[in-house]
Amino acid sequence: MDIAVALVPSLLFGALSLLLGAFPTDTRRQNTAVMVGAGAVSLGCAALLGAPWSLSATIWGAACGLMWTGGQVFVLRAFRAWGVSRTMPLTTALQLLLNATLGVSLFGEWRAPGSLALGAGALVLIMLGAAGCSWQERAGPGPTAAQRRDGLLATAASAVLYGSYPSLLRAVHVPSAHAVGPMGLGLLAGALLCALILPRRASLRGPRIAPALLAGGLWAIGNVLMLRSTAAVGVASGFTLSQLGFVLATVGGLTILGEKRTGRERAVVAVGIVAAVVGLVLMGTATSMDAGMSPSRQTVPGKGPEAV
């Protein structure tokens, strides 16, 4: 049962991406609505959880909510530039790479015998898999060279913002469960900033605002369920399972959203998905080895659109 619950966040995170890709609307309207949905549901979940709101958790949690806002703005830009099926595997891989690098360099992770080599091998597989999912033949259909460049830059920026705030919470010793409510405040502040700063090409009220609100709410629910699953089945297993949402987003982008790929590109995507999933399993194993050596170490799960 715990494993089944641990898989739910990956389904929600994958569905979120497809929902935003399937119902595009004005950039300012969509970003603002996503933040409002995520912030409101985060506050509601925090009230149900009854987690304490210390001054430190409020300050740093709100800051992390603003960071997630920036990540979401860039990921939506990447969706528009080169599609969901190219953005999601790459941003997932880059976030994992960033978190692993910070974990090893700042928090002394992967110190158990063999865990560093296993984790490094896992990252190589994940990065190769992501590259395969994003690969495009020169003569193939899809985004232009300029769009690919814009999509790559936006994806990288989203990964930095999504992937760094969990390590920030860990560095300032704020438990991720305590940051859920304050993050809601940061997300609502981010919604206000999106409404004020992003180009005003259309009114905030308009078509397709409901799917964006729903997408934000799905992220908040998935985030809370991920926290529960990491407590039930362990950080390594819970977090690894939550990252499988990129598979749904990639396959759904090709089938549901109709993002065009050649036959060769589809074959490479399939191999890339397998490589990335194997890499995720190996990364979870490396983290489990490390946790077994130091069971008292607290680990804050982190990753992108998907984590607190």
Mean pLDDT of 217-231: 85
- In this prediction, residue 176 has a pLDDT band, given cuts at 50, 70 and 90, of confident
Q: Are the C-beta atoms of 77 and 146 separated by less than 8 Å?
A: no
pLDDT by residue (tens digit) across 245-265? 999 999 999 999 999 999 999
Query: In whole angstroms, how large is the CA radius of gyration of the chain?
Result: 18
Distances (CA, A) of 104 to 28, 144, 152, 166, 218: 37, 37, 26, 14, 31
Percent of the chain topping pLDDT 70: 90
Distances (CA, A) of 258 to 17, 21, 227, 230, 252: 14, 10, 33, 34, 8
The span from the first CA to the last CA of the chain, in angstroms, equals 23
Task: Report which of residues 228 and 212 the model is more confident about.
Answer: 212
* Residue 31 in tokens: 């970003």
Confidence (pLDDT) at 177: 87
Confidence (pLDDT) at 116: 93
Confidence (pLDDT) at 300: 44
Chain centre to alpha carbon of residue 8: 14
- In this prediction, residue 301 has a pLDDT band, given cuts at 50, 70 and 90, of very low
Task: Report which of residues 302 and 91 the model is more confident about.
Answer: 91
Confidence (pLDDT) at 204: 93
- In this prediction, residue 293 has a pLDDT band, given cuts at 50, 70 and 90, of low
Mean pLDDT of 231-244: 71
Confidence (pLDDT) at 28: 96
Whole-prediction pTM value?
Answer: 0.90
> Does 35 have pLDDT greater than 70?
yes
What is the C-alpha separation between 302 and 104, in angstroms, rounded?
A: 14
> Does 136 have pLDDT greater than 80?
yes
- In this prediction, residue 100 has a pLDDT band, given cuts at 50, 70 and 90, of confident
Instruction: Provide the mean pLDDT of the chain.
Output: 89
Q: Are the C-beta atoms of 185 and 65 separated by less than 8 Å?
A: yes
108: Cβ contacts below 8 Å, ≥ 6 apart: none
